[in-house]
Structure 1
């Protein structure tokens, strides 16, 4: 399968070599194929690797099966997808609670399968949400953009904000948790605060509204550890309402919703900010207001 990527260079003047290595993160082997097959065009012309690419130049990259082997996954149900933003390279969707981000067993259907059906081609997970969590997730539409988006995530250049309803009166207007998080040796499903062996984890919290026995807060992730928000809050005595792992009382749903996702598009430098609501989150929250 041939894949053609076209873009207008948004970066200050740089060489073809710098563009491919530093900005587009194209692997060495693939760069070699682009060069030998003459599959790189600047303003419809083949150029040498030290050619200076200027802002506004038209870039065309042609990839084939040798560059990115085709990956096939079963298509799901496109009607289950609520797309909030998309372009030729990426798509941001609003995941309902109770749906897995990706399948864990053969034949299992998850959001990735539904998004792939919606787009009409295999997509790729950039980051995940727990099955019980609703909200915004970013997917790559092709294998070319995937490592570029992954780098944004690794360099903490993507902002993810969550609404959370927690047990008790949250006493701080603003607070940051920096407890390291590791695996729970006694329960493989769970994570816990582990100062010695845990990984760095940073969660910024802002109190939004106190209720009689609960508090609505906003959580902004600086890192993305498994169950990070859930573990940080439960460890400090503010377990999420409805959390099946870290709260001892059942509820309608886990009250955690990824309501905002912000990033700078790595191929256009466009500022993207997407917001989304959850009907079930709002319905459960309304019980606290009554």
Structure 2
């Protein structure tokens, strides 16, 4: 598969070598192919590695199959995809609860397979959500941009906001949990707070609305540990309602939803912010609001 990437340089004045190596994170082997095949054009002309590119210069990169060997996966069902944003390089979709982000077996169909069917080519997972969690998920449309997005994720430049309905009423309007998280030695599915051997984890929690026996909270992650929000909230006495692993409060689903995702596009420098909706999450939230109104009416 041969594909070309055309972009307007938004990185400022630098050499072609710096642009490809430091900004676009293109691996050394692929940079070698680009140079020897003269597959780098600046404003339509071939250039050498020390040529300077200026802001808004038009850069064209052409990749062959040997640069990025094709990764074939089975296509799923395109009609299961709810796109929130897409362009030549990325797509953000709204994942329903009960669907894996990616399969564990070669032929297992998951959101990745459905997104690839929707786009018409193999896509790549940038970050994942637990199967029980709904909301915004980011995918790369080509292998070229994947390491750039991975770096943004590592540098905490992809901003995600989660909504959760939790057991009990939070006493604090704003709290930061920094408990270390490790594996549960007795249940491989679970994670626990492990202050001695766990990995560092930071979750920022803000209370949005209080109900008689529950709270709607907003969570932001400074780290990305498995089950991080679920473990932190449960450990501090506010397990997410409907959590099959960490809560005793039943519900039709885990009441955790990736409500908002925001990033600055690494190639265009465009600010992208999307909000994802979940009908099942909002149904439970509306029910809680009605119960709250009844409580206030009865107390008068």
TM-score by length of 2: 0.95
> Deviation at 1:202?
1.0
CA contact (8 A) 2:167 2:249 kept: no
Q: In structure 1, the residue corresponding to 2:117 is in which secondary structure?
A: helix
Please, which runs of 5 or more residues in structure 1 have no aligned partner?
Answer: none
Instruction: Provide the C-alpha distance between the structure 2 equivalents of 1:150 and 1:171, rounded to a whole number of angstroms.
Output: 36
Instruction: Provide the C-alpha distance between the structure 2 equivalents of 1:269 and 1:144, rounded to a whole number of angstroms.
Output: 17
Instruction: Provide the C-alpha distance between the structure 2 equivalents of 1:86 and 1:126, rounded to a whole number of angstroms.
Output: 14
In the other structure, the counterpart of 1:108 is 108
Residues 1:56 and 2:56 are matched in the alignment: yes
CA contact (8 A) 2:162 2:219 kept: yes
Q: In structure 2, the residue corresponding to 1:185 is in which secondary structure?
A: coil
Instruction: Provide the C-alpha distance between the structure 2 equivalents of 1:255 and 1:264, rounded to a whole number of angstroms.
Output: 28
CA contact (8 A) 2:73 2:106 kept: no
Instruction: Provide the C-alpha distance between the structure 1 equivalents of 2:175 and 2:203, rounded to a whole number of angstroms.
Output: 8
In the other structure, the counterpart of 2:244 is 244
In the other structure, the counterpart of 2:2 is 2
Q: Deviations along 1:180-223, whole A, 9 cap, x unmatched?
A: 11111111101111112211111111100000000000001111
Please, which runs of 5 or more residues in structure 2 have no aligned partner?
Answer: 291-300
In the other structure, the counterpart of 1:286 is 286
Instruction: Provide the C-alpha distance between the structure 2 equivalents of 1:154 and 1:198, rounded to a whole number of angstroms.
Output: 19
Q: Deviations along 1:163-192, whole A, 9 cap, x unmatched?
A: 100000111111111111111111110111
Runs of 4+ in 1 over 6 A off after TM superposition: none
CA contact (8 A) 1:243 1:255 kept: yes
Instruction: Provide the C-alpha distance between the structure 2 equivalents of 1:164 and 1:235, rounded to a whole number of angstroms.
Output: 15
| 1:123-202 correspondence to structure 2 within 5 Å | 123-202=123-202
> Deviation at 1:273?
0.7
> Deviation at 1:105?
2.0
In the other structure, the counterpart of 2:297 is none
Instruction: Provide the C-alpha distance between the structure 1 equivalents of 2:11 and 2:147, rounded to a whole number of angstroms.
Output: 18
Q: In structure 1, the residue corresponding to 2:20 is in which secondary structure?
A: helix
CA contact (8 A) 1:159 1:222 kept: no
Segment drifting more, 60-69 vs 193-202: 193-202
